[in-house]
Amino acid sequence: MSAPREPVFLARETYRHRRLRDAARFLPFLAVFVFFIPMLFGPEAGTAMTKVFLFFAWLTLIIVSFLVSRRLATDIDVQQGDGADDGQPG
């Protein structure tokens, strides 16, 4: 009985926020992918090189997580207690 009352085309700001949440959901999969890359390294890749790669990738993930989470934190502020983020992405 209650059809989604949202407009078909969302305001740019809302649209960005929806995609931001998608990014947050996607990020752990990226992390797993990146962390498993060293398994593909050949025998010539030494510990030092693997280590440099891993820590560089790790730091990058932390920075991306920082950028995404910082903006999502304000989302929680606004929506604490409701289910808006479970709505269908527009």
Partner 1 sequence: MLTFNLLVAVCAAYVGFLFLVAFAAEKRARRGRAAWLRSPLVYTLALSIYCTGWTFYGAVGYAARSGLEFVTIYLGPTVIMIAWWALLRKLVRIGRTQRVTSIADLVSSRYGKSTALGVLVTLLCIVGTTPYIALQLQSVTLAFAVFSPTEAVDMNGTALWVALGLALFTIVFGTRNLDVNERHHGVVIAIAVEAVVKIVALVAVGAFVVWSVAGGTGDILRMIEASPIAEYRVQPERWVTLTFLAGAAFLCLPRMFHVLVVENSDERHLATAAWAFPLYLLLISLFVIPIAVAGLAVMPEGANPDLFVLTVPLEFDREGLAMLSFLGGFSSATSMVIVAAIALSTMVSNHIVLPIWLSAGQGGATVSGDVRNVVLLARRMSIAVVLGLGYLYYRFSGGGEALAAMGLIAFVGVAQILPALIGGIFWRGATRIGAGLGVSIGFAVWIYTLFLPSFGVGDVLSAATFEAGPYGLALLRPQALFGLDGMDPLVHAVFWSLALNTGAFVLGSLLSFPHPLERLQGATFVNIYRYSDSARGWGRSFVEAEDLLVMAQRIIGPMEAQALFVSVAAEQGKEGYLPDVTPEFLERLERELSGSVGAATAHAMLGQITGGVTVSVEDLMRVADETAQMMEYSSQLEAKSEELQRTARQLREANAKLTTLSIQKDAFLSQISHELRTPMTSIRAFSEILMDGDQMNRADRRKYSTIIHDETLRLTRLLDDLLDLSVLENGQVTLNEAPATVGAVLDRALAAIESRAEPGSLKIRRERAREDLPIYTDADRLAQVFINIVSNAQKYCDAEAPELRIAVQEIGGSVAVDFIDNGSGIPKASQALIFEKFARLTDQRAAGGAGLGLAICREIMLRLGGSVDYLPGQGGAAFRVTLPRAEAMAAQ
Helix residue ranges, H only, 1-90:
12-36, 47-79
How many chain residues bind partner 1 (CB under 8 A)? 42
Distance of alpha carbon 19 from alpha carbon 22, whole angstroms: 5
Which of 15, 16, 69, 90 is in the footprint of partner 1 by CB under 8 A?
Answer: 69
Contact 61, 30 (CB under 8 A): yes
Q: Could you say whether residue 10 binds partner 1 (CB under 8 A)? A: no
For the bound state, the minimum distance from the C-beta of residue 89 to partner 1, rounded and expressed in Å, comes to 14
Q: Which three-class secondary structure state does DSSP give residue 74?
A: helix
Q: Could you say whether residue 80 binds partner 1 (CB under 8 A)? A: yes
Q: Could you say whether residue 50 binds partner 1 (CB under 8 A)? A: yes
Contact 53, 37 (CB under 8 A): yes
Distance of alpha carbon 62 from alpha carbon 34, whole angstroms: 12
**Where do contacts with partner 1 occur on this chain (CB under 8 A)?**
1-2, 21, 24-25, 27-28, 31-32, 35-36, 38-39, 41, 43, 46-48, 50-52, 54-55, 58-59, 61-63, 65-66, 69-70, 72-73, 76-77, 80-83, 85-86
